[in-house]
Amino acid sequence: MLQYFLRRLAALVPVLFLISIFVFLFIHALPGDPARLLAGESATQEEVEAIRKALNLDRPLFAQYVDFLKNLATGNLGISLRTGEPVATMIGRAFMPTFWLSVCALAWSVVFGLVAGVVSAVRRGSAGDHAGMFLAVSGISMPNFWLGLLLMQFFSVHLGWLGTSGFDEPSDLILPSITLGAGVAAVMARFTRSAVIDVAREDFIRTARAKGLRERIVIWKHALRNALIPVVTMAGLQFGFLLGGSIVVEKVFRWPGLGSLLLDAINFRDYAVVQAEIMLFSLQFLLINLAVDMLYGFINPAIRYK
Amino acid sequence: MALVSDAPAAGQKTERIARSPFSEFRRRFVTRLGALAAGFFLLVMLLVALAAPWILPFGPDEFDYKNTLSAPSAIHWAGTDEFGRDIFARILNGAKLSMFIGFVSVTIGAVIGVIAGLLAGYYGGWLDSIVMRVADVLFAFPGILLAIGIVAILGAGLTNVIIAVAVFSVPAFARIVRSGTLGLKETTYVEAARAAGASNVIIMFRHILPGGLGAVIVYFTMRIGTSILTATSLSFIGLGVEPSIAEWGAMLSTGREYMLAGKWHLTFFPGLAIFLTVLCFNILGDGLRDALDPKLDDN
């Protein structure tokens, strides 16, 4: 198991290398001149050139890429063109707000989706099942930025219970994580429901019932455990979806996280930050996929990696 | 509909001999009243949006500084925005735009994906490996993240949004068509066509493609909903169409500040429009899927 894990971890290196080339080339294909942007509208040509030189933007593309890799390997992510701060510091500051937001969103939505899905599967065809599944389709169709604004309108503007922007106290997490998790909860509920219905048709479920186990044990222990493998895959994929969704939700709630940082950087053509952020998002995404693969082994002892 | 009628015949066995595949399809589809209602709603919305310039007293870009931020009323059904523009007229303009973006981007994605999947499935070998690896990589990235990346490179604007949204539709269509092709190319009628001397192109497009079209149509419908959601998200975060254009995501983005000041109608109605539109595409897609694939019918 450990060996398998290490081998998979090593396999990420060439993938990241490839992504780094793409990111680097694409970023440099961006229209707009960062040196000119930084110098300001009124700067002379000499001033622009001086800034270009100071930031090494005048060197050949390949040399800039080698620098980029060298710095990446030593953990030096460069200096932000916009604020003059080290990129690592900016990302370090933005990381925890996004981390808490994603974790809270994933936690409630997976638990809620799982329970709703199983209950729906057990009461298949009932009014509650239909209502639940209609709610799930609605959740999938709901633009998360609208949901965020609706919640904000009701709880912050109308009732005045919660804040509308920023992350100053733990209660600020409530609305953004509900917003971010809603779509995931809906997908999880739908997916769990069909996975449980599939498993319930299997012979071993009939056997479990035939030997007189209580229905609750049959469903929650025998059926759910076997339905869990596709469900875990889905949860992993959804975590990736959360990373993307968090960018939009952070914009709604003016959240001081990685998403807001990325959008600011894109608007300002802040190369160093965009590069570092895309690498970080890719790395997170690859690690999550790896974690999902490792989880299989724990859930289903029949799958053990050599 | 004409495309659908001959599609279900292939790829699945129709066990009831008395019914033709089409009447079978129709029976299942009609039972999905929800899907019918959703399709009807979308059609009406599109027609009203297209006819809006002739039936509405206000244009989407008409300023009225005496009537800014007014609440919904009998004259302005959804109120007016910060420039006194009629929000209902802007929503209808947004409907036209969103439907256009959704339809065009998914069509581009579908055409590229279908051709790639057909070639990969039919010829196999290295072509198949390359197409599927590229599809895997694209598939692995969350759609909105990929779209943000593409717009970040190409710049904002309508055309680039369409490209960004189209790109992430490609891999799914390629996969669906490829797996259908793998099964269909072994069938007797394809063998017969080949024996009769049909060229590879004729076999692929005339004999194999129609068999896999059912799944493509279902996915196409659902994808339009997802694409509208992504395109409006891009506009909301400022990476989509020009913020001044009457587009749903852009309207929500500028409406946020006024909402905080208590003007709820600036964000409520455009959001509702996105939600209902995407919901209807999803329900319609679900209904089409159930109607085209009896195996999935678990009622």
ipTM score assigned to the predicted complex: 0.78
B249 CB neighbours in chain A (<8 A) are 143, 145
| Residues A240, B141: C-beta atoms closer than 8 Å | yes
At residue A180, the pLDDT reads 92
Look at residue A289 and tell me whether its pLDDT is greater than 90: no
Give mean pLDDT, residues B240-245: 81
B221 CB neighbours in chain A (<8 A) are none
Which residues lie closer than 8 Å to A205 by C-beta, 6 or more apart?
A: A199, A218, A222, A223
pLDDT tens digits, A84-115: 788 888 888 888 999 899 989 998 998 999 88
Which residues lie closer than 8 Å to B133 by C-beta, 6 or more apart?
A: none
In degrees rounded to 5, what are phi and psi of residue A212?
A: 90, 15
Report residue A177's pLDDT band, with 50, 70 and 90 as the boundaries.
very high
Mean pLDDT value across chain B: 80
A79 - beta bridge partners?
A86
Report residue A283's pLDDT band, with 50, 70 and 90 as the boundaries.
confident
Could you give the 3-state DSSP secondary structure of residue B30? helix
Q: Please enumerate residues of A whose Cβ is less than 8 A from a Cβ of B.
A: 26-27, 29-31, 124-125, 137-138, 140-146, 149-150, 152-153, 156-157, 164, 197, 240-241, 243-245, 247-248, 251-252, 262-263, 266-267, 274, 278, 281, 285, 289
Give mean pLDDT, residues A212-234: 79
Which chain A residue's Cα is nearest to B263?
Answer: A153
User: In this predicted structure, which of A18-32, A115-129, B172-186 has the lowest mean pLDDT?
Assistant: A18-32
* DSSP H or E segment with residue A87: helix A87-122
| Residues B233, A248: C-beta atoms closer than 8 Å | yes
User: In this predicted structure, which of A91-100, A159-168, A204-213, B47-56 has the lowest mean pLDDT?
Assistant: A159-168
Report residue B19's pLDDT band, with 50, 70 and 90 as the boundaries.
low
> What is the maximum alpha-carbon separation in chain B?
76
Give mean pLDDT, residues A65-82: 78
| Residues B153, A149: C-beta atoms closer than 8 Å | no
Which chain A residue's Cα is nearest to B230?
Answer: A143
CA dist., res. B49 & res. B242, Å (int): 20
To 10 degrees, what angle do helices B209-236 and B158-167 make? 130
B260 CB neighbours in chain A (<8 A) are 152, 156-157, 164
> Residue B253 burial by CB count (10 A; 0-12/13-18/19+): exposed, middle or buried?
buried
Look at residue B262 and tell me whether its pLDDT is greater than 80: no
A152 CB neighbours in chain B (<8 A) are 259-260
Mean pLDDT value across chain A: 81
Q: Do A137 and A114 contact (CB within 8 A), yes or no?
A: no
Report residue B111's pLDDT band, with 50, 70 and 90 as the boundaries.
very high
Q: Do B147 and B170 contact (CB within 8 A), yes or no?
A: no
Could you give the 3-state DSSP secondary structure of residue B164? helix
Q: Do A288 and A239 contact (CB within 8 A), yes or no?
A: yes
As a whole-number percent, the residues of chain B with pLDDT over 90 amount to 15
pLDDT tens digits, A179-217: 999 988 998 898 888 888 888 778 888 888 888 788 788
Can you say whether residue B85 is alpha, beta or left, with left for phi > 0 and alpha for psi between -120 and 50 degrees? Answer: beta
Which residues lie closer than 8 Å to A72 by C-beta, 6 or more apart?
A: A20, A279
CA dist., res. B263 & res. A89, Å (int): 38
Counts of helices then strands in chain B (DSSP H, E): 13, 0
Q: Do B247 and B102 contact (CB within 8 A), yes or no?
A: no
Can you say whether residue A56 is alpha, beta or left, with left for phi > 0 and alpha for psi between -120 and 50 degrees? Answer: left
Which residue of A146, A237, A252, A288 is the best one to mutate when testing the B interface, meaning the one whose CB has the most B CBs within 10 A?
A146
pLDDT tens digits, B127-178: 888 888 777 767 766 778 778 878 877 777 888 889 988 988 898 899 889 8
At residue A165, the pLDDT reads 75
What are B147's two structure tokens?
């779209």
Bigger pLDDT: A280 vs B15:
A280
At residue B67, the pLDDT reads 76
At residue B162, the pLDDT reads 92
At residue A30, the pLDDT reads 62
At residue B101, the pLDDT reads 92
Alpha-carbon distance A17 to nearest alpha carbon in chain B (angstroms): 14
Q: Do B105 and B115 contact (CB within 8 A), yes or no?
A: no
Nearest CB to B259 within list A31, A142, A149: A149
Please give the radius of gyration of chain A, using alpha carbons only, rounded to the nearest integer.
Answer: 24
Report residue A38's pLDDT band, with 50, 70 and 90 as the boundaries.
low
Provide the 8-state DSSP code for B296. Answer: G
At residue B279, the pLDDT reads 92
Report residue A249's pLDDT band, with 50, 70 and 90 as the boundaries.
very high
Which among B174, B165, B173 is positioned nearest to B145, based on CA atoms?
B165
Could you give the 3-state DSSP secondary structure of residue A133? helix
CATH of B84-289, one of 3.20.20.140, 3.90.1150.10, 1.10.3720.10, 3.50.30.30: 1.10.3720.10
Torsion of CA A265, A267, A269, A270, to 10 degrees: -20
Bigger pLDDT: B74 vs A132:
A132
As a whole-number percent, the residues of chain B with pLDDT over 70 amount to 86
What are B230's two structure tokens?
């992504």
Look at residue B291 and tell me whether its pLDDT is greater than 50: yes
Look at residue A220 and tell me whether its pLDDT is greater than 60: yes
At residue B224, the pLDDT reads 92
- The structural domains of chain B, with segments of one domain joined by +, span 84-289
At residue A291, the pLDDT reads 81
Give mean pLDDT, residues B245-265: 83
Give mean pLDDT, residues B238-253: 84
Give mean pLDDT, residues B70-87: 75
Q: How far is CA B19 from CA B25, B28, B33, B193, B257, in A?
A: 10, 12, 21, 27, 58
CA dist., res. A90 & res. A270, Å (int): 12
At residue B18, the pLDDT reads 53
CA dist., res. B57 & res. B54, Å (int): 8
Counts of helices then strands in chain A (DSSP H, E): 13, 0
What are B67's two structure tokens?
């009537």
Provide the 8-state DSSP code for A152. Answer: I
Torsion of CA B83, B89, B95, B98, to 10 degrees: -20
Can you say whether residue B84 is alpha, beta or left, with left for phi > 0 and alpha for psi between -120 and 50 degrees? Answer: left
pLDDT tens digits, B113-130: 999 999 998 888 888 888
Name the amino acid, one letter, at B19: R
To 10 degrees, what angle do helices A127-141 and B265-292 make? 120
CB A181: neighbour CB atoms within 10 A?
A: 29
Give mean pLDDT, residues A24-34: 68
Bigger pLDDT: B110 vs A155:
B110
At residue B114, the pLDDT reads 93
Provide the 8-state DSSP code for A172. Answer: G
CA dist., res. A127 & res. A118, Å (int): 15
Look at residue B275 and tell me whether its pLDDT is greater than 90: yes
Could you give the 3-state DSSP secondary structure of residue B32? coil
| Residues B152, A266: C-beta atoms closer than 8 Å | yes
Q: Do A110 and A184 contact (CB within 8 A), yes or no?
A: yes
B268 CB neighbours in chain A (<8 A) are 150, 153
Q: Do B270 and B255 contact (CB within 8 A), yes or no?
A: yes
At residue A3, the pLDDT reads 79
Q: Do B271 and B252 contact (CB within 8 A), yes or no?
A: yes
Give mean pLDDT, residues B217-238: 89
Look at residue B103 and tell me whether its pLDDT is greater than 90: yes
